A and B are shown apart, each in its own frame.
Chain A
Amino acid sequence: MMAVFRFWSTHLQELATLLGEHVFLVGISTAIAIGIGVPLGIFAARRQRLAAPFVAIANIVQTVPSLAMFGFLLPVPLIGGVGARAALAVLVLYGLLPIVRSTIVGITGIDNAIREAGIGMGMTPGQLLRHIELPLATPSIIAGVRVAAVVGVGSATIAAAIGAGGLGQYIYRGLSMVDSTVILAGAIPAALLALAVDGGLLWFERRLSPRGRRRSRRAVTVAATATVLIVLLASAALAARASRGIVVGSKNFTEQLILGEIVAQTIERETGLPVQRRLNLGGTLICDRALLGGDIDVYVEYTGTALTAIFHQPPANDSAAVMNTVRDFYARSGRTVLPGLGYDNTFAILVRGADARARRLRTIEDAARVAPEWRAGFGFEFLERPDGFRGLAQTYGLRFRSPPQVMDLNLSYRALAAGQVDLIAGDATAGLIEGLDLVQLDDNRRYFPPYEAVPVARAATLLRYPQVRRALERLAGHISAEQMRAMNHAADAGRENPADIARRFVERSF
């Protein structure tokens, strides 16, 4: 717990920003959900035959896992893509159900005698709604809003996966670093925020219940004013975002965050153009769709990943051929591959430094000789993928004392250092390689396909801003595997901010 407090105290500014983004997302999405959900609920309540299907549809929407929902919405024009807009769309969808349902319940639950009295005294349908139905349904509607807002606080943490920001960023960062301190640094304020929102709205709901209704008019006014203010602020913020400049994206692990910052800061320094960061996007496909849809202008991809995961080609191990294929595919969809950054983030076969030195191991071939005495530990992905363990074992004639153990990739580094296993397949640029004194064995038979880090940019952006292309080309060959490892280590073990690490690099390099 002390570690969490220390983390907060060193990241106060960032914490405040993320909290602000979180409140922004939930506030706006709930306000929009009220704006759509209440009229929809009123409409459905008026037409009893519609009420059931409405609630059923909203129920189905609610059961779609939020990450899947973000995925579905990616290719949808206008509301899809990545960033706050798409996150808002998803949060609004989630907020609709409880609000529509509670509006229907609130209005249909009104005693018929009351409605008949209103009509009988000559109220128009509008007057009946304003003077009778809405005031009487308000406590029920507020209860629905409460559910929507609390669900919203939770779902908004997942919005970090599509670069909408918020406290989920700490959670994702912590997950990718396997660092529970960072996870807690995001999860605790999110939980507290949920409790605060719930408590605040509960208070408001009580205000509107029969005993507190004397003050209800004022409470409604206060709430309405607050909502309007939030919406105004939000639209101002969105408008500000609309004039966006160059947008840099990144995937959601440490190395990508640092690379995203390096690319962003390089463009800032070299061109003076405004740069917006959409870092921490939840994976390769999300980044690819975002680039294709113009939500981001540039991010760093790995050639091997582009070949197999994006363009579904069989793995290949000739670096130049892979680069050409990938460049071709990208060009067909209006995107340009820029010169590589200088390192290859391929799989790295790792052993303990002590073993390597004592037994003079330099290559995987060397290791194959001693492997029958050893135990190996591999991530699930490495055991499954076409360019993974099976081919490696064939290429080098690798056999171990027992079948390889399946373990989490991030944990396998520590398992190796602790002597639980003797050989693992890690990331060539993992910061832990330095921190734990591990040694990467040379792939002397060139089994692993190349995973060269290359910036990929929208061709249209490069045409419009040739200075961006020049800036990105300046990065070519500038980052070695050792440098990348050191920077990853500074972020993962030293908990340094990726932006600060990138700044040091950019200042030293240019």
Chain B
Amino acid sequence: MLRNFLQVSIVHVMNGVEFRHVSFGHNRGTRILDDFTLSVAAGDVLTLVGASGAGKTTVLKLVNRLLLPDAGEILVAGRDTREWDPIRLRRSVGYVIQEVGLFPQLTVAGNIAVVPRLERWPEERTVARVQELLELIGLTPAEYAVRWPDELSGGQRQRVGVARALAIDPPILLMDEPFGALDPVTRRQLQLEFRRIQTALRKTVILVTHDMAEAMALGDRVGVMEAGRLIWCGPPQAILDCEDPFVRRLVEASTPLPPAEAGPA
């Protein structure tokens, strides 16, 4: 009991995220989130998987206070999001969305430098940070810094989105289907890079996906959501033993179909 208590406390101090009995909103009579409880330890990757409309994106928006819960509480680094100054909270939480949302009027470097400039970093420090991040995401600074967003491929845009979220080195990172709109080859490449970067940076990450294979490949733990509830949460290997029919269907859906039987000649 005491051990448990100590562990939880340490998680809080070290930039973990915790949902305690959170309910939020309504959608045609059913709650979008219903008594949702979840904790992510500092430096861990939690992947949230579920069908569209299960409430995954809502979970992310509650973390950086784009939304406030109707009931329950969300603790970010041990503090209730309602007590956080929303601006400070969002600067401490990197946010990567599926559509990326790069600012079209700014270059790649300009996009990455937005938050450092809002934080009034000295210009040399900003420039150095942009260089460092471009190298981290594998885009040659000399070539890509001055490009416009519409001159990038989908995969490159997604990488810039990640670099932008990491700009002032926030301890927590929220990623909403970051690789969802990419072709399979690029997607696999970015997943590998995500692992590489995460090994180096050890951020607390909540990554939302609808692809069970991706969730299992990237998460230290996987959470499965259905209709606003967390129905399963645990390490990726354990999910194969889960008996829940919904979880089973999700797992099966991520394995390739067997080849079609040849019809009678």
Interface residue ranges, A against B (CB under 8 Å): 111, 113-124, 127, 131-132, 135-136, 210, 213, 216
Interface residues of B in 88-114 (CB under 8 A from A): 88-91, 95, 97-105, 114
Query: SS class of chain A's interface: helix, strand, loop or mixed?
Result: helix
Would A114 and B101 count as touching, CB distance under 8 A?
Answer: yes
Q: Which of B128-160 contact A (CB under 8 A)?
A: 148, 150
Q: Is the CB of B114 within 8 A of A120?
A: no
A122 touches B103 (CB 8 A): no
Residues in A whose Cβ lies below 8 Å from that of B217: none
B118 lies within 8 A of A114 (CB):
no
Shortest CB-to-CB span from B55 to chain A, Å, is 17
Contact surface of B with A, Cβ cutoff 8 Å: 64, 66, 86-91, 95, 97-105, 114-115, 118, 148, 150, 161, 164-165
Assembly CA distance A135 to B104 (angstroms): 10
Question: Of A120, A131, A210, which contacts B148 at CB under 8 A?
Answer: A210
What chain B residues lie within 8 Å of A117 (beta carbons)? Answer: 95, 97, 100-103, 161
**Chain B contacts for A119, CB-based, 8 A:** 66, 90
Does the CB pair A113–B99 fall under 8 Å? Answer: yes
Contacts of A131 in B (CB 8 A): 103, 114, 118
Cβ B95 vs Cβ A121 within 8 A: yes
Report the minimum CB–CB distance from B53 to chain A (whole Å). Answer: 18
- The answer to whether A120 and B97 touch across the interface, beta carbons within 8 angstroms, is yes
Contact residues in A for B99 (Cβ distance below 8 Å): 111, 113
Task: Tell me the complex Cα distance, A124–B91, Å.
Answer: 11
Residues of A within 8 A of B102 (CB): 114, 117
Task: State in angstroms the CA–CA spacing of A132 and B110 once bound together.
Answer: 12
Across the interface, do B115 and A216 meet the contact criterion of CB distance under 8 Å?
Answer: no
CB distance from B127 to the nearest CB of A (A): 18
Question: Which listed residue (A121, A135, A136, A210) contacts B115, Cβ 8 A?
Answer: A121
Q: Measured between C-beta atoms, what is the minimum distance from B179 to chain A in Å?
A: 16
Is A213 a contact of B64 with CB atoms below 8 Å?
Answer: no
Kindly report which residue of chain B lies nearest to residue A121, judged by CB atoms. Answer: B115
Q: In this complex, what residue of B is CB-closest to A135?
A: B105
Which chain B positions have C-beta within 8 A of A127? 118
- The answer to whether B105 touches A213 (Cβ under 8 A) is yes
Whether A121 contacts B104 by the Cβ 8 Å rule is: no
Residue among A113, A121, A122, A136 making CB contact with B164, cutoff 8 Å: A121
- Known: A121-B164, A131-B114. Contact between A136 and B87, CB under 8 A? no
Q: How far is the CA of A346 from the CA of B50 in the complex (A)?
A: 92
For the complex formed, measure the closest distance between the CB of B88 and the CB atoms of chain A, giving whole angstroms: 7
CA separation between A116 and B98, bound complex, in Å?
11
Residues of A within 8 A of B101 (CB): 111, 113-118
Q: Are A136 and B90 in contact (CB under 8 A)?
A: no
In the bound complex, how far is the Cα of B66 from the Cα of A136, in angstroms?
A: 22
Q: Which residues of A contact B90 (CB under 8 A)?
A: 119-122
Q: Which residue of B86, B95, B103, B115 contacts A132 across the interface (Cβ within 8 Å)? A: B103
Add 11 more A-B contacts to A114-B103, A122-B87, A123-B87 (CB < 8 A): A111-B101, A113-B97, A116-B66, A118-B103, A120-B66, A122-B88, A122-B89, A131-B103, A131-B114, A136-B104, A213-B148
Alpha-carbon separation in the docked complex, A120 to B165 (Å) = 9
Question: Is A120's CB under 8 angstroms from B103's CB?
Answer: no
